[in-house]
Amino acid sequence: MIPATKPQSNRSETRMLVLNAEQGFQDACISELPAFLRRGDLLVVNDAATLPASLQARTASLTPIEIRLVRYLGESDWKAVLFGEGSWRIPTELRDPPLKLPVGAVLGIGDAVSAQILNISRISDRLVTIRFSLQDSEMWKAIYTYGRPIQYAYLNNSLSLWSVQTSYAARPWSVEMPSAGLPLTWKVLLELKRNGIEIAWLTHAAGLSATGDEDLDDSLPLTETFDIPQSTIDAIDRCHVRGGRVVAVGTTVVRALEGCFASHGRLVSGQNETDLRIGGDFRLQVVHGILTGVHDPAQSHFRLLRSFASDKILRPAWRHATEAGYRCHEFGDLCLILRRVRDLHSDESLS
């Protein structure tokens, strides 16, 4: 499948492949989303803004190294992945690994900022916990001063920070863009509201999608933080009662809602975290549908789609998307998968 190499100049023209139990699959575009949802449905978005989470640094021996933030742990501490010398223009799997560094090593960032390695993960010596030398607002200021958006080699040009934000972005929690919501313009959202489709939100700290380290990539997605407001839980309860469909915008929304339910046996408001990995054998408890990017079958995102639809429909749909020129990755096209409401608590995914 062809990757999208730059942001869409007109987000409303993003193509959308629609899969449902009644009609198989069909071509559409994001501006037609209101036609595929019905009065009483609920759309849940991830309102996390995207951080400039790639930081160029140097070791004590002045060896270049890249820090990609993964997850904020509180105060001045972060989970991060280290990359060797090079830039986003080199595919992650072809970049040389970074110099192996011990706990206590200090990485210099800019003129007056540093980060110290506090812990090295058992998963990979590239996955570390770091502590910035600055605190509170000064730490955040440094991240925005020295950081750049994380990006990959299939893109043509360096990304500006504004280009990786959804129209409803709020708290800066994500290290990579929750990209499924990028094509949702206010025009589309307002039309959904006018058609009687409710819209709710949560905040989920989307993590890295790839590192180039096989062991680390096999562990993705890592533990991620989310925050579900009580108003969203109330909206989901109302939707379930009236027989509507809860449609998640992006895999992060699915992971937050289903991860919360799996941990507590119900949805609980407030900040929490999840290490849930969703695949074809996972029984969805909250969500009936998903609006997501067109993912390669080898990606972890694609595995999550098997909880919504079986390979019997996913593979023909993906073959069609490839032949029809759909574009993949964060600036690419979308897929809308809708299950029957009665399928939610059954063992059968859309087939």
Closest by CA position to 292, among listed 325, 314, 265: 314
Report yes or no on 350 lying in a domain: no
pTM of the predicted protein model: 0.94
* pLDDT tens column, 279-326: 888 999 999 999 999 977 666 677 889 899 888 889 899 999 999 999
My answer on whether 169 and 291 are in the same domain is: yes
Long-range contacts of 26-29 (CB under 8 A, 24+ apart): 27/324, 28/336
What is the DSSP pairing of strand 334-338 with strand 289-293? antiparallel
Q: Which residues pair with 259 in a beta bridge?
A: none
Closest by CA position to 45, among listed 158, 153, 232, 200: 200
Provide the domain limits for residue 221. 2-50+158-343
* pLDDT tens column, 240-262: 999 999 999 999 999 999 999 99
Number of domains in the chain: 2
Report yes or no on 153 lying in a domain: no
My answer on whether 121 and 260 are in the same domain is: no
Highest mean pLDDT among 18-22, 102-106, 216-220: 102-106
Domain-ending residue, one of 148, 171, 197: 148
Q: Is the pLDDT of residue 206 over 80?
A: yes
Give the model's pLDDT for residue 298.
Answer: 65
